[in-house]
Amino acid sequence: MKSQPLKPLIVVLGPTGSGKSPMAEQLAEEFNGELISADSRQIYKGMDIGTNKSEAYLTDLINPGEDFSVAQYKELALKTIKEIHNRNNLPILIGGTGLYIQAVVDNLFIPKVKAHPALRAKLTKSTPEELFQKLKVLDPEEARTIQKDNKRRLIRAIEVCLAGHKFSNRNKGKPLFEILQIGIEMNRGQLYQRIDKRVEAMFQDGLEEEVASLSDNLPDTIGYEEFKLKLGTRKTISLIQKHTRRYARRQIGWFKRDERIEWVKDYKQARKLTKDFLSKYVPQPLD
């Protein structure tokens, strides 16, 4: 029996501040698409300004401080993609969280290890550096790619390892979709300028007030954790800019490992790639 052809999925990815949202929104408008967020910070309710939250599915899923795993994300993403396909529309995955994207693109098998509150409480007392050193012993392969200062991710990786699984053992399953990954490439200096300006804009848009509204539920993530230091507005802005630039470098390093990604500099290039990719599925609009 002949197998059914795989349905299309577009992925728009890149470092924070690179302009993913405008590009994905244009593609969605032109190619009858619907957006799905692949951002591990946009899942939190009330964190809108600091995450530059987009109009997409899979945002505002949980409250800050609640647990949410990659396995949960994958399950919801696949369900949403199927629903979009059933409407005869084009799903467009957009974001910068590499593991979320890889979970869908490579159909990763992710062990469903339940949270262990007592263990987490104990690990929380350790510094990120101490947690990283512990992970290096338990899972050296994961330690090579994990964000060294992401305490939440480090704790989860250790938790999975201590439950008898290697966090890095995310085996790939058979392809679920025909996929085009579009990465936004930008001069590093230009990217840093965009990041710095965006952080300034976040404060103008009311980030300090948003943080105050979250009360004691401030998550350990860029744009929010810096306020815990109570450094004052100007120093907090500078620290968020510094941390965001560093995060962008890590994102670039993660994505550059995937040779399947088609890197573009502008919408014109992204449009051509998308049009060529979709030509086998649906008639394309005339120029």
Tell me, what's the pLDDT at 200?
A: 97
- Taking domain 8-110+172-278, whether its CATH number is 3.40.50.300 is answered by yes
Concatenated DSSP letters of 189-217: HHHHHHHHHHHHHHHHTTHHHHHHHTGGG
Provide the residue ranges of all domains of the chain, joining segments of one domain with +: 8-110+172-278, 111-169
Tell me, what's the pLDDT at 282?
A: 56
Tell me, what's the pLDDT at 114?
A: 79
- Residue spans of the chain under pLDDT 70: 1-3, 282-287
Instruction: Name, in order, each residue with C-beta under 8 angstroms of 43's C-beta and a sequence gap of 6 or more.
Output: 37, 58, 59, 60, 61, 62, 68, 73
Measured distance CA(83)–CA(102) in Å, rounded:
20
Tell me, what's the pLDDT at 148?
A: 77
The CATH number of 111-169, from 3.30.70, 1.25.60, 1.10.20, 1.20.1070, is 1.10.20
Q: Which of 73, 75, 72, 48 is nearest to 60 (CA)?
A: 48
Contact 243, 41 (CB under 8 A): no
Tell me, what's the pLDDT at 56?
A: 96
Concatenated DSSP letters of 34-77: EEEE--TTTTBTT--TTTT--SSBS-S-B-TTS---HHHHHHHH
